Structure 1
């Protein structure tokens, strides 16, 4: 069994199409087909079934895919570790983070780190809470910012970097827009702009409204903090957003009002796999992040 066969097999399994896999691998379609055929002969199993124009993994193919992905991930990590051993300043950090941190926080911390370590590379993975947890457990990222901080995974370790307050965000012409602070119950008759299902801020806002004695009426849903903020600014409803997500870009921006009750917060944590050591370059970045958040975000 050759390593190339594993690469080709995983790519075909992901694409479910030999031609598309070959294009991404920059090799001839016949070469991919030949390697898959040889792999099936060596294993004496059928890994794929034809389904229309696409290929579908057989049950044994699905089992083999899980093992193949682990093997290739371990190999990739071994190569990275060798390069880091030779020169840690030229390593690569695989970093995951949620959308709400992608506007300003991630660019800020990465830019600050690269001033000290200009040759270090980053591979970013942006995603929702479940996908970040999954990517971390599968070994596809080394570190991840996550909100809320998970406490139920024994395979994950980490620390809470900060607890951030959420503000009411209102259209600029809203009657409460110029108040210093309000109670969330004052928004019971408003329509809300919320994050879509699967985003961690949605249940935080929903539970806060329940605690304030009402169920929010949802007018619009979005997947980016900029979308939520823009829709509110355009008068489409109200919402709750963390302070660091309320950077004012463009002509439209909402009013930000502090909440008196209930006090709504979210935790932002930094996680890694607890059963293995961080790569040296990721360990350096980890230490940098702890110090950076202590200096810039802790009040």
Structure 2
């Protein structure tokens, strides 16, 4: 069994067509067909079956495809690790994060890191809480910021890097908009604008309201902090957002007020696979991040 056969097989499985696979591989169609045929002969099974003008994986072909994807992905990572070993300052870091920290925190961190490692490349992937965990465990990203930070287990390691306060945001004309501090209970009669299901800020806000003695009245849902802020500023309801999500991005802005009884916070963690297979460049970035947030907490410049 040759590496070329596995690569041809996977491409045909993805394209469901020999001709289209051959075009993308820049080889003759006959070469692809021959290698697939040799692979099936060696395995003693049919990997594809005809479906109209396309090819479809057989059940055993689907099983084999999952294994091949994993093998080729590990091979690509191994080649990258060798290159990074030869020059770890020119590797690529794949990092995931939720939308609420992507506008300001991620650019600031990357800019700081690239002052020390100017040739390192970054690949970013934004996602929800469950999708970020899936991406880390599936090897789609090396590291991911996530909130709240999950407990470590056999597959996943999580480290809290910071704790952030959530503020109430209100329409500018709201009677409480001019207050410096409010109790969360004071918003119990208000309609709430919350993140949709799957976003980690939603259960944090929901649980805080329950702790304050009421169930929030859901008025609108959104998937981005800009949407939440805009709806609140337009008078559609109230909400709670972390401080880093309150940077002004438009002229229409809600009022923000500190919340007590209870104070509402969220943890932001850094997660990665527990098997310790981080590329060298990602290990350097992780070490940098831990120092970055420790210095930030102590109000110390990172390079000092």
- Residue number in structure 2 paired with 1:214: 214
CA positional deviation for 1:36: 4.9
Confirm or deny that 1:231 pairs with 2:231.
Answer: yes
Does the 8 Å contact 2:81/2:279 carry over to 1?
Answer: yes
Cα offset, 1:113, TM superposition = 0.5
Question: What residue in structure 2 maps to residue 285 of structure 1?
Answer: 285
Structure 1 Cα separation of the partners of residues 137 and 117 of structure 2: 27
Distance 1:68 1:235, change over 3 A: same
Cα contact 1:171–1:234 (8 A) shared by 2: yes
Q: Distance in 2 between matches of 1:31 and 1:190?
A: 68
Q: Label 1:120 to 1:41 Cα distance change in 2 as closer, same or farther (>3 A).
A: same
* Shift, 1:282, TM fit: 1.1
Distance 1:297 1:171 in 2: 31
Number of residue pairs aligned between Structure 1 and Structure 2: 298
Q: Which runs of 5+ in 2 are unaligned?
A: 300-304
Instruction: State the distance in 2 between where 1:54 and 1:212 align.
Output: 59
Question: What 5-or-longer segments of structure 1 have no aligned partner?
Answer: none
Aligned-partner Cα distance in 2 for 1:97–1:24? 35
**2:152 & 2:108 partners in 1: Cα distance?**
30
Give the 3 Å change call, closer, same or farther, for CA 83–186 of structure 1 in structure 2: same
User: CA 1:252 to 1:2, structure 2 compared with 1: closer, same or farther past 3 Å?
Assistant: farther
Say whether the 8 Å CA contact 1:48–1:56 is kept in structure 2: yes
- Inter-partner Cα distance in structure 1 for 2:30 and 2:201: 47
Counterpart Cα distance in 2 of 1:228 and 1:32: 54
Contact 2:22 / 2:29 at 8 angstroms: preserved in 1?
Answer: no
Write the mapping of 1:99-248 to structure 2, written as runs, cut at 5 A: 99-151=99-151, 153-248=153-248
User: 1:175, 1:19 → 2: CA distance?
Assistant: 67
TM-score with structure 1 setting the length: 0.89
Shift of 1:21: 6.7
Moved more, 247-256 or 21-30: 21-30
Moved more, 109-118 or 210-219: 210-219
- Specify the structure having the higher radius of gyration (Cα): 2
Rounded to whole Å, the distance in 1 between the matches of 2:218 and 2:28 is 49
Residues 26 and 215 of structure 1: CA distance in aligned 2, closer, same or farther (over 3 Å): farther
- State whether structure 2 residue 97 is matched by structure 1 residue 82: no
Q: In structure 2, how many angstroms separate the alpha carbons of the residues matched to 1:83 and 1:193?
A: 48
Residues 125-165 of structure 1 deviation map (CA, whole Å, 9 limit, x = unaligned): 21111111111112222111111111153222231001111
Equivalent residue for 2:302?
none
Q: Deviations over 1:61-115 (max 9, x none)?
A: 3322331222112111111111111111111111111111111111110011111
CA displacement 1:210-266 (0-9 Å, x = unmatched): 122222122211111111111111212111111111111111111111111122111
> How many angstroms does 1:44 deviate by?
3.2
- RMSD of the alignment, in Å? 2.6
1:150-184 superposed Cα distances (whole Å, 9 cap, x missing partner): 11532222310011111111111111111111111
SS in 2 for 1:176: coil
> Are residues 1:18 and 2:13 paired?
no
Contact 2:98 2:129 in 1 (8 A): yes
